[in-house]
Structure 1
């Protein structure tokens, strides 16, 4: 490993984590890179580069923050060789692999090739002639005062289902534990290559979500009775659509690669983060899947 790129949370204190990376790299001849505007907040020896350069010049990217920072790091690494290591700076997330005290050992393990790669699916959406990419979800969301989201879903060129709802969410397995989950969608392993379509607060005859092949193109047609809708890409508004507009979406497997060190499984992280152990269906004495009892 010759270079490590850092992606920093915009508000949380990342100085201790950056210092840990710099200290680890100091005697190994490894260059530490960072987005110039971000590392400018810190008095450190990292080399500032443009966002577009970071994934291209890094052998490993390290996300210092939460799941939002990790999603941004994955977008920067999209299509590049660098895998992404998530370092937790605060609340437990789904994507982070280690905490700051464990960071030097994690970097040594990665440098010694003692890790695995978890490929992550992206969804590309064509909106007004522009392609945008999400690793969690693309959602069409009602604008207050403008009416419901009335949307027809076409799959592989054929009409499939339609919804009238507050929002219609097209999620990746990564995003299955985010907006889609809050709308009643299923938890989906990141090993599954599929797109999930989930209506939020539906009030139409058909109100169930659907799971679609990643190999089929999905089209959202905004129907004449719909209001104006915001298009949210990983939670950020990317534009607006009107009745008569359409959004073309296609899944893209292995768009980014997440580092795993074998510390926890997806199911353990999901169970802990979503408090599935609080479910009445799981007896207090049930095994926790890690050799112990809850």
Structure 2
């Protein structure tokens, strides 16, 4: 590993601090470091003088690996730039829970050395392809159809491969990948899905009818959301970003994308280890 790019959530001082530390360690090890433009602006000159600077959109051109300092949101931003690329992303958690950014800052020195030794795994994560009014978008975690008017439910007709599933009267509807199943969908009652499962999940957000539950479908299925003619406007949100506004009668098409995102994982850690660690599944509730 000879060329590594670094990006950080610069609004978080700890993210900048640990990104600086990582850059110093990589330089000491003889690695050519590429700093994202925004990060380079806030790093000390003695660091930036020894690094190259580039836009995140150029990471694929220069880097063999990207290290992201922040939380899952920072990593998702990088993923949108690198979707379909062979450049993997290593997420270092300077946020809170961090399912995607799973490397803790307390172990960053060890993690860097393991990366340089090649002692890591690269996993492919599926993504979503979203079509709205001729425009196309992608998401790693989920796409959400949510109300655009505060305090007013929306109605969303949902079909899977042209088969009518339900008319959701709710605050919104989520389509999540297995990767995104531990994010927004989980918070509103959706299931946790192992990343290796070839499925998607449709999860309603606060449905008016309590019998409307999360629905697992094959990831070869195509999901279509349509707003009825008398429905309120809705936002289309891809991984936390509003990408479009739907008006009555308009529709959104969601399917599994042909492109993947590559993530760096610890060689000695599995997805189930991560669940036990992040969700405290090993905690003994009987102990005080």
Report the Cα distance in structure 2 between the residues aligned to 1:23 and 1:42, rounded to whole angstroms.
Answer: 11
Aligned residue for 1:72, secondary structure, equals: helix
Partner of 2:38: 37
Residues 26, 205 of structure 1: alpha-carbon distance in 2 compared, 3 angstrom cutoff = closer
Q: Please name the residue that 1:57 is paired with.
A: 62
Q: CA deviation at 1:47?
A: 1.9
CA deviation profile, 1:93-135 (whole Å, cap 9, x unmatched): 1112322342232222222221112221111111222111111
Distance 1:120 1:253, change over 3 A: farther
Counterpart Cα distance in 1 of 2:97 and 2:278: 7
- Residue of 168, 171, 176 corresponding to 2:173: 168
Structure 1, unmatched stretches of 5+, are 286-293
CA contact (8 A) 1:94 1:266 kept: no
Matched, 1:218 2:219: no
The SS at the match of 1:18 is: helix
SS of the counterpart of 2:195?
coil
Shift of 1:145: 4.8
Q: TM-score, normalised by structure 2?
A: 0.89
- 1:40-60 C-alpha deviation (Å, 9 max, x unpaired): 122232322122111332101
The answer to whether residue 116 in structure 2 is matched with residue 115 in structure 1 is no
For residues 254 and 79 of structure 1, do their structure 2 counterparts lie closer, same or farther at Cα, with a shift above 3 Å needed? closer
The residue matched to 2:39 in structure 1 has which SS? helix
SS in 1 for 2:180: helix
Q: Distance in 1 between matches of 2:153 and 2:203?
A: 15
- Post-superposition offset of 1:170: 0.8
CA contact (8 A) 1:219 1:246 kept: yes
Residue 9 of structure 2: aligned partner = 9
CA contact (8 A) 2:20 2:43 kept: no
User: Who is 1:268 aligned against?
Assistant: 273
Instruction: Name the counterpart of 1:249.
Output: 254
Range 52-61 or range 252-261, more displaced: 252-261
User: Alignment RMSD, CA only?
Assistant: 2.3
- Which segments of 5 or more consecutive residues in structure 2 lack a partner in the other structure? none
TM-score, length-normalised on structure 1?
Answer: 0.87
Query: Which string of whole-angstrom CA distances, capped at 9 and with x for unpartnered residues, describes residues 185-206 of structure 1?
Result: 1011122222111001111375
Separation (CA, whole Å) in 2 of partners of 1:284 and 1:117: 38
Count of matched residue pairs: 283
Question: Using the alignment, how far apart are the partners of 1:275 and 1:199 within structure 2?
Answer: 26
Q: Encode CA deviations 1:8-61: one digit per residue, 9 max, x unaligned.
A: 113112333223322332244422112212321222323221221113321011
Distance across 2 between alignment mates of 1:198 and 1:90? 26
Distance 1:28 1:212, change over 3 A: same
| Aligned twin of 1:25 | 26
Say whether residues 1:88 and 2:93 are aligned partners.
yes
Counterpart CA distance in 2 for 1:186 and 1:37 is: 37
In 2, Cα distance between equivalents of 1:231 and 1:200:
14
Structure 2 partner of 1:231: 236
